[in-house]
Each structure stands twice: as C-alpha cells, then as structure tokens.
C-alpha cells in the first residue's frame, strides 16, 4: 500500500512514493517505488496505489531486489480520476486512487520497487 505517491511530467515523467507491505494482514516491511515514463504526458497528480499479489510466490518475488513492472494509462482532473488497470498480470494487480491534480498520461515505462523487511 502506497498512500502518497507524487507523479508529474511533461513528455518525460516520474513518480515516487513510500509504502508498507502487508502479508496475511500483518505489516512485514517498508517499500518504496520509483517510476520513469516517456510519452504523451503533462501535469502532476497525487495518488494512492495498492498492489495485490496473486500467490505467495508473487509476494516472495516482490521481496527480491529489482522488482519491476510496466506502467499504464490514466487521466486526472482535479479531485476525480480514472485509471485503466489490468486484472492480475504476471501475478500482480495494481489499483490507483487519485487524490488530486491535473494530468493526462499515455506513456510507456515502468515502476521499480525496493523492499526493506522489519
């Protein structure tokens, strides 16, 4: 769970945030994310991002260094936002909630995560 992710860009974009990894309802460590994208994008937004894993093996893979996956497509205007996210893909499903901002984003790139266990 990443409660506060800042995202912005103009052609080249980026995002950053910190979160918590829950496993079976218990906090097991801290996480951070970095995102780099290139494409048609302009503006900035604040989002909450939640990543779900399909199996325990997928959680274990996340805990390894250099966990990455591709970014999606979104559009945000002020406090309302819509995000097109896939169902589970390679064991991962990502849901976002826009807290505010103004951003149009059709880009390619990816997110990279770091995990620090307690």
Give mean pLDDT, residues 79-97.
Answer: 69
Q: Any bridge partners for residue 82, and if so which?
A: 75
- Which phi and psi angles does 54 have, rounded to 5°? -75, -35
Dist CA 25 CA 36 (whole Å): 30
Q: pLDDT at residue 103 above 70? A: yes
Neighbours of 1 (CB within 10 A): 12
pLDDT at residue 12, as a whole number? 94
* Residues making up the chain, counted from first to last: 118
Dist CA 103 CA 17 (whole Å): 17
pTM of the model: 0.81
Work out the pLDDT band at 13, boundaries 50, 70, 90. very high
pLDDT at residue 30, as a whole number? 97
């Amino acid at each position: 769970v990443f409660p506060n992710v800042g995202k912005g860009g103009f052609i080249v974009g980026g995002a950053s945030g910190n979160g918590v990894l829950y496993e079976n309802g218990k906090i097991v460590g801290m996480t951070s994310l970095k995102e780099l994208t290139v494409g048609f994008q302009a503006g900035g937004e604040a989002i909450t991002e939640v990543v779900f894993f399909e199996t325990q093996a997928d959680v274990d893979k996340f805990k390894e260094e250099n966990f990455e996956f591709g970014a999606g497509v979104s559009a945000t205007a002020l406090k309302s936002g819509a995000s097109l996210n896939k169902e589970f893909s390679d064991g991962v499903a990502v849901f976002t909630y826009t807290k505010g901002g103004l951003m149009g984003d059709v880009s390619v790139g990816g997110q990279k995560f770091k995990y620090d266990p307690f």
